[in-house]
Amino acid sequence: MIQFKHVHKAYKVGGREITALEPCDLQIPEGQIFGLIGHSGAGKSTLLRLINRLEEPTSGSIIVKDQDITALDAAALRRFRQGVGMIFQHFNLLSSKTVADNVAMPLKLANELSKTQIKERVHQLLERVGLTDHAQKYPAQLSGGQKQRVGIARALSTSPSILLCDEATSALDPQTTGQVLQLLNEINRELNLTIVLITHEMDVIRRICDQVAVMDAGRIVEQGTVSEVFLHPQHPTTRRFVYEDEHLDEQEQLKRFSQIAGCIIKLTFQGESTYSPLLGEVARQCGVDYSILNGRIDYIRDTPYGQLTLSLIGGNTVAALDAFRAADVTVEILRP
């Protein structure tokens, strides 16, 4: 578990203080994939880099596995950092070294294994990320997705329990992004690795995260499980992310609704209820007609969900809403 206790970070620039992180409390459970989402300048990188003390907090404490890491001396910090891997948007590989040597680098620096043991470990890691055939190539000879796989193998070399991902897929095309996210998903489960990732893309959060914190201007404005936060967004910043992801504009939508008759509602189905034939059943029982104004079915990590915006016309609307709720469907009334 990673715990932030009233952590504040300000940078000093030319005698002026710039607050990057307002005093913040945060808990990241062990073994989960935790996403931090926010627009540029929100403070995501600062928060991430505080976890391995690449940045020092201005005040507050950061507890990792019952240890206050802000109190570690240089030697203890070196040992702690062996347990925290990191991958980067632009991979940060050494261009003059082969793939195998890049992966071996943290092991050589740790100086705990023999040459043969390092060779074995590197082979094992490259096999895991699917790059065995590329061991003797140089980074310039690899695609972006392959470079990030090398980054992941290198980050895992010292068997960390935490992996920090700094916009790890932002430089990749959608298909390669999917493959890298899949790999992160797998190693999270195989190694019970806690992964903290930062992104400005909702899709990354939806595909692999368990929990999410939404950041805006140095503050965490909303936080919880991905389904809580993104299926029922409360804060304007979160709502904006959700609407952008659905290619909708909240104001435009309300304007469009003014030309549509009936009671306008949004239904959210999750898990099993996503595929149940509820709509027709409720319409028949309650004598309501409906038209579908918007809809999607997708996944949050492995759980399917569906969202439908409907206008209900005629019949017993109140009974229809009760029937949806009784079937564990969340009902939001957009216009009575």
Ligand X SMILES: Nc1ncnc2c1ncn2[C@@H]1O[C@H](COP(=O)(O)OP(=O)(O)OP(=O)(O)O)[C@@H](O)[C@H]1O
Write out the residues near ligand X by the rule CB under 6 A.
Answer: 11, 13, 18, 20, 38, 40-46, 200
106 phi, psi to nearest 5 deg: -60, -30
Amino acid at 51: I
Residue 265, C-beta contacts closer than 8 angstroms, at least 6 positions apart: 309, 310, 311, 312, 321, 331, 332, 333, 334
Alpha helices in the chain (DSSP H): 44-51, 74-82, 99-110, 115-128, 144-156, 174-191, 202-208, 226-231, 236-245, 250-257, 278-286, 317-326
Residue number with CB closer to ligand X (13 or 140): 13
Amino acid at 89: Q
CB of 168 to ligand X, least distance (A): 13
CB of 15 to ligand X, least distance (A): 12
How many CA atoms within 13 Å lie on the side-chain side of 26?
Answer: 33
Residue number with CB closer to ligand X (206 or 219): 219
CB of 18 to ligand X, least distance (A): 5
Count of C-beta atoms within a 10 Å radius of residue 227: 18
Q: Is 219 helix (H, G, I), strand (E, B) or coil?
A: strand
Structure tokens at 166: 């700094």
Residue number with CB closer to ligand X (45 or 311): 45
CB of 290 to ligand X, least distance (A): 41
CB of 11 to ligand X, least distance (A): 3
CB of 91 to ligand X, least distance (A): 16
- Name the residue among 321, 323, 313, 306 with its Cα closest to residue 291: 313
Q: How far apart are CA 245 and CA 273, in angstroms?
A: 23
